[in-house]
Amino acid sequence: MKKCLYCNRPFVEGVCNDECDNKYEEFKIFFEKWYKKSIVIILLTCSFFSTAILYPKEGLLISGIVLSLIGVELFFLPFATPQTIKSMGVKGSVELCIKYSKYFIVTGIILIVIGILIRILIPIK
Ligand SMILES: [Zn+2]
């Protein structure tokens, strides 16, 4: 059974209607423009994690910042892997990314708050 490339509803071939067609094309242009850049941005953000080695006492704070940044990036550039997009359809994969982006942002902010609290409560000598 073939599925609509955009909304993932079972369909004969391609996309189910003009609306899905427009949105699919829109996403394709957006994807082609930003997908590779989004991988570079995420990798650069992750590499910021390594500063935690230099400042182990700020590890929680750094992790929180990195996690929040990844969340923000995923929110604005909601790209799942091409395999996921293919199996879930564009709509489902974007919704999944945005859902995860919110988890990342919330978890990141919690870590930042804990990191700051620890810093205040346990002064570093
Ligand atoms: Zn559709």
| 92 CA distance to ligand 1 middle (Å) | 11
Burial 78-108 (b: 16+ CB within 10 A, else e): bbbeeeebeebbbbbbbebbeebbeebbeeb
Distance (angstroms) between ligand 1 centre and the Cα of 73 equals: 26
Ligand 1 centroid–CA 82 distance in Å is 18
Q: Which residues of the chain have pLDDT under 50?
A: none
The per-residue pLDDT for 125 is 60
Among candidates 66, 59, 48, which has minimal Cα distance to 115? 59
Residue 10 has what DSSP assignment? B
- Bridge partner residues of 10 (DSSP): 3
Q: According to the model, what pLDDT value does residue 54 have?
A: 86
- Name the pTM for this structure: 0.85
